[in-house]
């Protein structure tokens, strides 16, 4: 469903992403983690079609983001870490603006929008201006907008920022339910406990290169650890001596 082939992105003399190749199958929740400046956000932007790689290609369900960007974006839901919202619109007006970009029929909109807003505990606020929303409410609104057109792939950057514990639990449950229906996820996060609890597979990027990929157990084996949570494994694998020792776990299953 998601594939990056030898993707390279440079900013002046800095390789933000350097020869990144990976794939995420249908219905998998893939976590993408790494230190600050490792290349996570650049990768997310290339997957979402916001920027183009200097070399290599991004494919969304076999569709090239380079040659058919509009077709690829039709099947993506994108949740950025710092979403821009039109504050003078109501929640319902904002959702209508978003789905118009995807060509959703008017007859389906109201029922689906209200169902999604109710799921995110925003139904009572649907006719309020977004400028009155809290940070957590805005984050939930952008998630509602991302899933309203029923995308087959969700690309998510720091999904839990600004959410309270109830909101985090609700989003984790929703993501797992969507994955069970075949939706694929690519999630970048600094919150390692979220990645450990939510993701089927995890990739670790450092200095623009993928240094490890697999299940938590795969990563533990690669790190030479018989136990330990993702934080312990992450810290060990991102040490300087781990560079160049790329490990690929099994991505055939979910």
For the segment 3-51, what is each residue's pLDDT rounded down to a tens digit?
999 999 999 888 999 999 999 999 999 999 999 889 999 999 999 999 9
For the segment 167-190, what is each residue's pLDDT rounded down to a tens digit?
899 999 999 999 999 999 999 998
DSSP 155: E
Question: pTM of the predicted model, to two decimals?
Answer: 0.88
Between helices 106-119 and 135-147, what is the axis angle to 10°?
Answer: 140
Listed by start position, the domains of the chain span 2-75+154-248, 87-150
Sign of the alpha-carbon dihedral angle for 160, 112, 65, 253:
positive
Order of strands, sheet of 14-24, starting from the edge strand that comes earlier in the sequence: 14-24, 2-11, 55-60, 63-64
Measuring CA to CA, which residue among 26, 28, 41, 25 is closest to residue 161? 41
Cβ contacts of residue 16 below 8 Å, gap of 6+?
9, 10, 39, 42, 208
Measuring CA to CA, which residue among 7, 57, 1 is closest to residue 205? 7
For residue 243, the SS3 value is coil
Architecture field, domain 2-75+154-248: 3-Layer(aba) Sandwich (3.40)
């Amino acid at each position: 469903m998601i594939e990056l082939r030898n993707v390279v992105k440079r900013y002046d003399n800095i390789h933000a992403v350097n020869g990144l190749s990976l794939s995420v199958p249908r219905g998998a929740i893939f976590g993408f983690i790494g230190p600050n400046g490792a290349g996570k956000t650049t990768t997310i932007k290339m997957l979402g079609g916001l920027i183009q790689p200097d070399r290599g290609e991004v494919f969304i369900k076999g569709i090239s983001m380079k040659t058919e960007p509009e077709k690829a974006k039709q099947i993506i839901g994108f949740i950025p870490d710092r979403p821009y919202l039109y504050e003078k619109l109501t929640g319902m007006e904002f959702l209508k603006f978003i789905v118009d970009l995807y060509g959703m029929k008017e007859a389906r909109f109201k029922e689906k929008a209200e169902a999604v807003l109710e799921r995110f505990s925003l139904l009572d606020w649907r006719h309020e201006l977004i400028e009155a929303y809290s940070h957590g409410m805005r984050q939930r609104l952008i998630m509602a907008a991302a899933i309203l057109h029923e995308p087959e792939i969700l690309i998510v950057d720091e999904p839990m920022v600004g959410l309270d514990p109830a909101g985090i639990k609700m989003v984790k449950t929703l993501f797992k339910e969507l994955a069970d229906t075949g939706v694929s996820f690519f999630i970048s996060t600094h919150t390692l406990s979220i990645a450990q609890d939510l993701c089927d597979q995890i990739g670790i990027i450092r200095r623009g290169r993928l240094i490890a990929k697999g299940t938590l157990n795969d990563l533990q084996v690669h790190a030479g650890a018989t136990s330990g949570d993702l934080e312990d494994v992450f810290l060990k694998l991102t040490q300087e001596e781990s560079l160049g020792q790329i490990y690929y776990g099994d991505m055939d299953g979910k």
